[in-house]
Amino acid sequence: MKKDGEKPLKVLMTADTVGGVWAYSLELAAALSARGVKVFLATMGSAATKEQAGEAQEVKGLEVLQGGFKLEWMEDPWDSVAEAGEWLLGLERSIRPDVVHLNGYCHGALRWSSPVIIVAHSCVLSWWEAVGEGPVGPEWTRYGMEVENGLRRAQAVIAPSFAMMESLKRTYAFSAPAFVIHNGRSNGSFRPGVKEDFILTAGRLWDEAKNVRALERAAHSISWPVYAAGAYEHDSGVFPTAP
């Protein structure tokens, strides 16, 4: 991607440490770094754990900048989201990236100088469409408006699946070019070995979309032991849950 004598391309990327976006961001940063791209990863939400900080240090050339602001789906986040926006614009002025890569929505509406892409990993309204009953509550009206504003201002929108992209198009009005780019992992991160006779699921156990209840029901008729690893509680007390 970079010719001899040229300055390396720079990407300002946002992420949080809560779930799969962290792994996605590090995987992408490593791939970009291998092609001569400098990645600045601006994190929000909870601070990176010691293990996550160690993972980031293994990515050559990656610079992690921790903000600690609320995520857009948390309870009453908007003052913090606005503060995060000012922080991000300050980073853009100092870094002068070639591309801003947002793994969230609302900050797409900021007055960026650089081209902006949004990667849509998930959203509350599409989540509710899949697992909820009836219309989503009015407490999520502003969330929907802010997400749509971000999508409208982006130069491109990416989703990891056609299903997610179609859900976005049903829920929000935006005209940016839309692309489906499937998630992937480097096989060098996983060591094959002898398998043991048990079943493991890992993820956000509180999330109805993970459908852990189905596995719990099936466990009674399975001879192998079933283990579930993940958080029982989430950071936002008002995140909608199905009955």
The residue with greater pLDDT, 184 or 119, is: 119
Average pLDDT of the segment spanning 145-155: 97
Average pLDDT of the segment spanning 133-156: 93
pLDDT band of residue 62 (cuts 50, 70, 90) is very high
Identify the structural domains of the chain with CATH numbers, from first to last: 10-180 (3.40.50.2000), 193-243 (no CATH)
Q: What is the pLDDT of residues 69-80, one digit of tens each?
A: 999 999 899 999
Inter-residue contact 60 to 33 (CB < 8 Å): yes
Mean pLDDT, the chain, integer? 88
pLDDT band of residue 40 (cuts 50, 70, 90) is very high
156-159 and 63-66 beta bridge pairing: unpaired
pTM reported for the whole predicted model: 0.83
Q: What is the pLDDT of residue 242?
A: 38
Q: What is the pLDDT of residues 85-102, one digit of tens each?
A: 999 999 999 999 999 999
CA distance 39 to 101: 10
Q: Burial-class residue 87 by CB neighbours within 10 Å (0-12, 13-18, 19+).
A: middle
Q: Is the pLDDT of residue 140 over 70?
A: yes
Q: What is the pLDDT of residue 79?
A: 97
pLDDT band of residue 6 (cuts 50, 70, 90) is low
Q: What is the pLDDT of residues 179-200, one digit of tens each?
A: 999 988 877 777 788 888 998 8
Q: What is the pLDDT of residue 239?
A: 38
Q: Is the pLDDT of residue 115 over 90?
A: yes
Q: What is the pLDDT of residue 232?
A: 67
pLDDT band of residue 203 (cuts 50, 70, 90) is confident
